[in-house]
Amino acid sequence: MMYVVEIDGIEVFVDLIHAGNHETGLDPFFEVNAGTDWEGIPLPLTAEEAEEAILWVIRNYEHEVYQ
């Protein structure tokens, strides 16, 4: 499942690689990438921005990222 989150005006793509499970304590696993500029050059993404995007997805789609 892929989610698109806007962080500081940048499109951030958050791919759910593996769903988590509350009962077993397994956290979901994500891959996070920023969009590109008009020339196709990947935009830089800080660890804090990536974490913010992941937390947004978990808050808004918890029913999808946890089994």
What's the pLDDT score for residue 37?
85
A 10 A CB-CB count for 12 gives 23
| CA–CA gap between residue 6 and residue 60 (Å, rounded) | 14
What's the pLDDT score for residue 36?
85
What's the pLDDT score for residue 34?
93
What's the pLDDT score for residue 42?
86
pTM here is: 0.89
**Residue 39: which pLDDT band, with cuts at 50, 70 and 90?**
very high
CB 17 within 8 A of CB 30: yes
Q: Both tokens of residue 33?
A: 């990438």
Domain regions of the chain by residue span: 2-65
